[in-house]
């Protein structure tokens, strides 16, 4: 059955066949189906991004708590959702912590991503909603690697609040946060 996820999905790029082949047995089949049918892209008004795990692993892999985590989604606030141990887990780089996860089904994530209350509860969406209203949503292909983040990361004492957010590149922000705050603790 074809996967129908993320009602407002904006395609950014096709997924290379080498990526599909490399990750096919490491991620949920629904994710491979999404890659093949829709590619990499943006959803939830630009808050969620279906990302290239090979690219993310090469750019931020050293900051993942475990080398066998596969980055599959990112948020416009600099967090990364990884597929690990047959579940999707949120690495909240902005707070230097991992959450309990968002389940084991991409279909459910896609279904719930349309609900702001779910995004807020499980992915800390509220600051993005406010930033998108104030500064503009990051929902075009040109925004794919851009996020809203405080210039001084929160774990290093940066202030919270939308007035302190700036538009930055996700990779540099994760690297800066990890260097200032240390590795994300992860017990499994």
Query: Interior CA angle at 44 toward 5 and 111, to 5°?
Result: 35
Pairing type for strands 165-169 and 87-92 reads unpaired
CA distance 64 to 95: 14
Q: Is the pTM of this model over 0.95?
A: no
Task: Give the pLDDT score at 11.
Answer: 95
Task: Give the pLDDT score at 122.
Answer: 87
- 3, part of any domain: no
Cβ contacts of residue 87 below 8 Å, gap of 6+?
Answer: 101, 103, 104
- 140, part of any domain: yes
What average pLDDT does this structure show over 38-62?
Answer: 95
- 165, part of any domain: yes
Split at pLDDT 50, 70, 90, the class of 5 is low
At 98, is the secondary structure helix, strand, or coil? strand
- 1, part of any domain: no
CA distance 174 to 133: 24
- 85, part of any domain: yes
Task: Give the pLDDT score at 1.
Answer: 39
Q: At residue 3, does pLDDT exceed 70?
A: no
Range(s) of the domain holding residue 42: 10-181
Number of domains the chain is built from: 1
Task: Give the pLDDT score at 188.
Answer: 64
User: What's the farthest any 2 CA atoms get from each other in the chain?
Assistant: 47
**Average per-residue pLDDT in the chain?**
91
CA distance 43 to 37: 15
Note the pLDDT tens digit of each residue in 135-159: 999 999 999 999 999 989 988 889 9
- Nearest residue to 40 via CA among 170, 141, 161: 141
- 186, part of any domain: no
Task: Give the pLDDT score at 2.
Answer: 44
């Amino acid at each position: 059955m074809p996967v129908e996820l993320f009602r407002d999905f904006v395609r950014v790029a096709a997924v290379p066949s080498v990526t599909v082949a490399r990750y096919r047995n490491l991620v949920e089949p629904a994710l491979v189906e999404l890659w093949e049918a829709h590619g990499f892209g943006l959803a939830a008004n630009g808050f969620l991004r279906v990302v290239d795990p090979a690219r993310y692993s090469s750019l931020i892999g050293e900051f993942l708590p475990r080398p066998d985590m596969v980055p599959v989604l990112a948020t416009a606030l600099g967090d990364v959702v990884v597929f690990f141990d047959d579940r999707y887990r949120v690495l909240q780089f902005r707070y230097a912590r991992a959450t309990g996860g968002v389940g084991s089904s991409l279909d459910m994530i896609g279904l719930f991503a349309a609900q702001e209350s779910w995004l807020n509860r499980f992915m800390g969406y509220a600051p993005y909603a406010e930033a998108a209203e104030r500064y503009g949503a990051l929902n075009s292909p040109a925004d794919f690697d851009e996020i809203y983040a405080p210039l001084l990361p929160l774990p290093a004492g940066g202030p919270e609040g939308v007035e302190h957010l700036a538009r930055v590149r996700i990779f540099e922000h994760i690297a800066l946060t990890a260097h200032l705050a240390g590795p994300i603790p992860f017990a499994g």
